[in-house]
Amino acid sequence: MSSSAKLDPAFQGAGQRVGTEIWRIENFQPVPLPKSEHGKFYMGDCYIVLQTSQGKGGAYIFDIHFWIGKDSSQDEAGTAAIKTVELDAVLGGRAVQHRELQGYESDKFLSYFKPCIIPLEGGVASGFKKPEEEEFETRLYVCKGKRVVRMKQALQINFMNSMNFKGRFSQIKESSFSILLVQVPFARSSLNHDDVFILDTQNKIYQFNGANSNIQERAKALEVIQFLKEKYHDGKSDVAIVDDGKLDTESDSGEFWVLFGGFAPIGKKITSEDDIIPEATSAKLYSITDGQVKIVESELSKSLLENNKCYLLDCGAEVFVWIGRVTQVEERKAAIQVVEEFVASQNRPKSTRITRLIQGYETRSFKSNFDSWPSGSATPGNEEGRGKVAALLKQQGVGVKGMTKSAPVNEEVPPLLEGGGKMEVWRINGSAKTPLPKEDIGKFYSGDCYIFLYTYHTGDRKEDYFLCCWFGKDSIEEDQKMATRLASTMFNSFKGRPTQGRIYQGKEPPQFVALFQPMVVLKGGLSSGYKKFIADKGLTDETYTADSVALIQISGTSIHNNKAVQVDAVCSHWVSFLL
C-alpha cells in the first residue's frame, strides 16, 4: 500500500477506541465532528462514520460508512468515497465499507444512533448556509420503520492440543426493528394514512399516527419524540398524540390541524422510488482493470480472486467491491469510482447497496455467492509476505534490495486459528517478562525466549486462548526455564482454559506462523541472560540493530509457512532474500 504520508492527517489516531467517530466533508476535506453533533446529518453534506467494536477475542472490528446527503454535490460524494479508502488504509486495510444514501440507510448504520438519525436541511458545504440552531424551525418528519429477520450460520471450532479441529454448524435467528426519520415539507400534502409523522413545534411535539401504521412504528416514534424533547427542548416541551380519523376541535388534534390551515382529508400514499425494493439476481463477477469492468466467464470460485486485483460482484440488490491485499491505495480509490459509475449506468434503485471488502475480511453474505470458498483458507502469497517484511525493515531505516514481483499465489492451507483475535507477547528478561509494543510483535530474536497469549473467538463460544512459549535456537537454558515457569503461572490464572504449547525456532506449526505476518527471526538477543552468556564466552554480539546490514531469507508460499530469517551473508543463502 502507499505511504502513510499520502493519507489524510484528520484520520490520525482513528479506531483506537470502541465507539463511533464521525467526519464531515468540508471544502472537500474531512473534519472531525464533536460527539455532541453525532446523529445530526445535514442534507447538503457528506459524512464518514467509523464504528469500532471489539470482538469477544479482544480484537477491534471496523465498519466504515460514507453517508451522502440528498442535496450534496457529486464532487462531495466522490470525496467521501475516496477519503473512506484512506481511512481504511490508516486502520490497516481491514475495514468493511458501506455506502449510505440519505433515506436508504442500512440497519447496521441506523443502529449506531439511538433512537435514530436526525436529517436536517442545509449544510456547511459550498452553496449552503450553515443553519442557525438558535432560531427554532418547525419541522415535519415521517417515521419509516422496518423489521429485519436474518438467519446466520455459525461455525463452532474446537481447537485441540493436537492441532486438530472439530466443528459444527448452528443456525441463529436474529430480529430487529429500526426506524428512519426523514424530514418532509411542512404541508398537509406530506401526510398519509400509512406512516407515522412527528411535528416538532417550539412549544409542543405532535405524533400523528396514520390509520394503517403499525404498532412498532408508533412505539419507536415515541422514543424519537422523547429524544427531541430532551435534546432540543431542554425536556420542557409538551407531547401530544393525534390519531388519524379522530377529530376533536378542542383537543390536541384540533391544535394539530390548525397548524396545517384547518382539517381536510389527506391523500393516499404515493408510491415513489423510495418504495422500490431492488431485486436480488444471480451473482456476476467482473474484474476491474484500468477503470474498466470485464465479466469473468466462469463458475464463481474463490480461486478466481487474485490478490493483486480488484473485482466487482453484482448481486442486484447489493454490489460488492472485492479488494486484493496487494493492491495500492490509488487502485482502491479508482475501483470505488468505477463501481459507482457501474451502478449509475445500470439505473439501479437508490436503495442498491454498495459494500467494499478487503481480501481476508469477507462477510458471510459475500462468501455465500461462491460455489467454492474453503473454510479457513487464505490467499495472500509469498510476494505479499515479502512486501510486509520489506516494509518492516524500511521502518527501521534499512535499505531493501532484491524485491521482484511475481504472480499471485492461491494455495489451500491447513485449518488455522480464528483470525482477528488479540495477540499479546512478552520477552523473557531475567526473572520477569517484558511486554512487547504492538509494532514489535512478529519480530523474534534467536537468542531470546517469548511468551505468547492469543485470545480468539470461535462461533458462539466464549473466549478461547492459545498460550505458548517460543524458544530461540540460541537462547539460554535459564531463560527457557523462566518462560516455562511464567507461562505455567498464566495458565493457572486462566483456570486451565488455554491450549498450551512449546515451540522451538525452525519447528513452528502452521497455526503459529499464520498469526504473525510478517514473521521475522533476527540474529542475537536482547535479554540480560543472553548478553551475559556471550560476554562470558567472549563471543561477538551479532544482535540485529536498526543500523545493521542484514541478509534476510524468505521461505514459504502462504501465510501459514511464510517466514523471514536473518542468515549469514554467504552465497549459499542467496535464493530468495532481502538485503
Identify whether residues 179 and 303 lie together within a single domain.
Answer: no
Same domain, 427 and 464: yes
* Structure confidence at residue 194 (pLDDT): 87
Q: How confident is the model over 209-243, as pLDDT tens digits?
A: 998 888 888 888 898 899 889 888 888 889 999 99
In this prediction, residue 534 carries a pLDDT of 93
509 and 548 share a domain? yes
Whether residues 258 and 341 fall in one domain: no
The pLDDT of residue 299: 86
pLDDT at 462 over 90: no
Shared domain check, 499 and 420: yes
Mean pLDDT for the stretch of residues 398-416: 43
pLDDT at 57 over 80: no
Domain boundary among 329, 344, 367: 367
Q: Mean pLDDT across the stretch 154-168?
A: 36
Mean pLDDT score, 307-336: 88
Task: Look at 365 and 57; give whichever has higher pLDDT.
Answer: 365
Beta strands in 190-266 (DSSP E): 196-200, 204-209, 238-243
Lowest-confidence pick of 379-383, 462-466, 518-522: 379-383
CATH number at residue 534: 3.40.20.10
Judge whether 117 lies within some domain. no
Mean pLDDT on 286-293: 90
- Mean pLDDT value of segment 172-187: 67
Least confident of 92-101, 274-283, 317-326, 503-512: 274-283
Q: Do 207 and 350 belong to one domain?
A: no
Instruction: Answer yes or no: is 43 within a domain.
Output: no
**Are 354 and 395 part of one and the same domain?**
no
3-state helix, strand and coil shares in percent for the chain, rounded to the nearest 5: 25, 30, 45
Write down the residue that cell numbers 483456570 correspond to. Answer: 495
* Structural domain contains residue 332: yes
Domain extent at residue 261:
136-220+228-267
- Other beta carbons less than 10 A from residue 345's beta carbon: 9
Q: How many domains does the chain have?
A: 3
The confidence band for 307, taking pLDDT boundaries of 50, 70 and 90, is confident
Q: Is the pLDDT of residue 397 over 50?
A: no
C-alpha cell at 315: 448481486
Whether residues 461 and 432 share a domain: the answer is: yes
Residue 131 resides in a domain: no
- Supply the mean pLDDT for the chain: 78
Q: Choose between 473 and 183: higher pLDDT.
A: 473
Of 338, 367, 396, which residue sits at a domain end?
367
Domain boundary among 334, 367, 400: 367
The arithmetic mean of pLDDT across residues 57-62, rounded, is 78
Q: Is the same domain home to 454 and 331?
A: no
Rounded to 5 degrees, φ, ψ at 79 are: -60, -45
- The per-residue pLDDT for 388 is 42
Q: Do 290 and 261 share a structural domain?
A: no
- Higher confidence at residue 84 or residue 557? 84
162 occurs within a structural domain: yes
What confidence category does residue 556 fall into, taking pLDDT thresholds of 50, 70 and 90?
low
Residue 95 domain flag: no
Average pLDDT over residues 83-99: 88
Residue 33 domain-assigned (yes or no): no
Nearest one of 271, 266, 143 to 216, comparing CA atoms:
143
pLDDT at 278 (0 to 100): 62
Angle at 461 between CA 460 and CA 463, to 5 degrees: 130
| Averaged pLDDT for residues 541-564 | 77
pLDDT surpasses 50 at 160: no
Q: Residues 8-21: what's their mean pLDDT?
A: 88
430 with 464, same domain: the answer is: yes
Query: Quick one: 486 and 566 in the same domain?
Result: yes
Reported as a pLDDT band with limits 50, 70 and 90, residue 68 is: very high
Bridge partners (DSSP) of residue 353 are: 318
Task: Say what angle helices 477-493 and 528-537 make with each other, to 10 degrees.
Answer: 170
**pLDDT bracket for residue 407 (50, 70, 90):** very low
Q: How much is the average pLDDT of 269-284?
A: 67
